[in-house]
A and B are shown apart, each in its own frame.
Chain A
Amino acid sequence: MIMIRSIIRPERTDNVLSALMDAGFPAVTKMSVVGRGKQRGIKIGEITYDELPKELLITVVKDEEKDFVIKTVMQAARTGEKGAFGDGKIFVTPVDEVYTVSSGIMETDSGATEEVKI
């Protein structure tokens, strides 16, 4: 399993969420965060804003679906023709085990499932 963490513009969140829903990935967690990128924030006059508001979307998908989800998020989150600075970043990390609390079923990378006894 793979965890995809996308940091995107707040105004593109709805767009990305509906794109993911249409692509068949309804499960998403959303958090609002602040951050800066390699542009060192935005400078307007004398003032530099380096805590820019962004949205963090967390999705966990199977290994083979990784590229498709990244493509979907990228397409939906981009602004303008070629994209612009501040559109965001996507980070990909491995996940060893996934547990569903309601059923107690564990899923691993290999697709094997196992029930946790309480």
Chain B
Amino acid sequence: MKEVMAIIRMNMMNKTKRALADAGISSLTARDALGRGKGMVDMTLLKGAELGYEEAISQLGQSQRLIPKRIIFIVVKDKMVKKTVKTIIEVNQTGKSGDGKIFVMPVSDSVRVRTSEKGDSALDD
């Protein structure tokens, strides 16, 4: 069992949900989160730079600012990890920085509360 934790753009959430459901991964947990990466983007500076202000351009990449993101948690069986990751990347990739990160972590056990099934069978449909 593995946990796939993906941090993606807010406006990609609906597309991602649909693609995951089509791929047979229907269960997920999602939350709003704020975050920053290596990019260090400041929206006001970005706007200033777009309008061509020299000062704004020179300060790009120096400030720290948290950007709203969506974070998804999916627990899947080992053999589904590749498919999950591939689906998320396929939908979310625009090639620009800020597309997000995906982390794959081990999970030692899972339990279905309704029936108290344990292990892989707790993840079956």
A and B bind: yes
A residues whose Cβ falls under 8 Å from a Cβ of B = 1, 3, 17-18, 21, 26-31, 60, 93-104, 116, 118
Q: How far is the CB of A88 from chain B (nearest CB, A)?
A: 18
Counted as pairs of residues, one from A and one from B, with CB atoms less than 8 Å apart, the total is: 91
Bin the interface of chain B by size. 35 or more
* B123 on the A face (CB < 8 A): no
Q: Tell me whether A99 and B89 are in contact (CB under 8 A).
A: yes
* B76 on the A face (CB < 8 A): no
A104 to B96, CA, bound (A): 11
Q: Which residues of B contact A93 (CB under 8 A)?
A: 105
Q: Which residues of B contact A97 (CB under 8 A)?
A: 85, 102-104
B residues whose Cβ falls under 8 Å from a Cβ of A = 2, 6-8, 31-38, 40, 64, 66, 69, 71, 85-86, 88-90, 92-106
Q: Tell me whether B105 and A94 are in contact (CB under 8 A).
A: yes
Q: How far is the CB of B42 from chain A (nearest CB, A)?
A: 13
Q: Tell me whether B7 and A118 are in contact (CB under 8 A).
A: no
Q: Tell me whether B106 and A99 are in contact (CB under 8 A).
A: no
A60 to B98, CA, bound (A): 16
Q: Which residues of A contact B93 (CB under 8 A)?
A: 101-102, 104, 118
Q: How far is the CB of A96 from chain B (nearest CB, A)?
A: 5
Taking A29-B33, A31-B31 as contacts, is the C-beta distance between A101 and B38 under 8 angstroms? no
Q: Which of A26, A94, A99, A118 has the most CB of B within 10 A?
A: A99
Q: Tell me whether A30 and B34 are in contact (CB under 8 A).
A: yes
Q: How far is the CB of B12 from chain A (nearest CB, A)?
A: 9
A98 to B92, CA, bound (A): 15
Taking A30-B33, A101-B100 as contacts, is the C-beta distance between A96 and B106 under 8 angstroms? yes
The answer, among B64, B99, B102, B103, for a CB contact under 8 Å with A18, is: B64
Q: Which residues of B contact A100 (CB under 8 A)?
A: 99, 101
Closest to B8 in A: A101
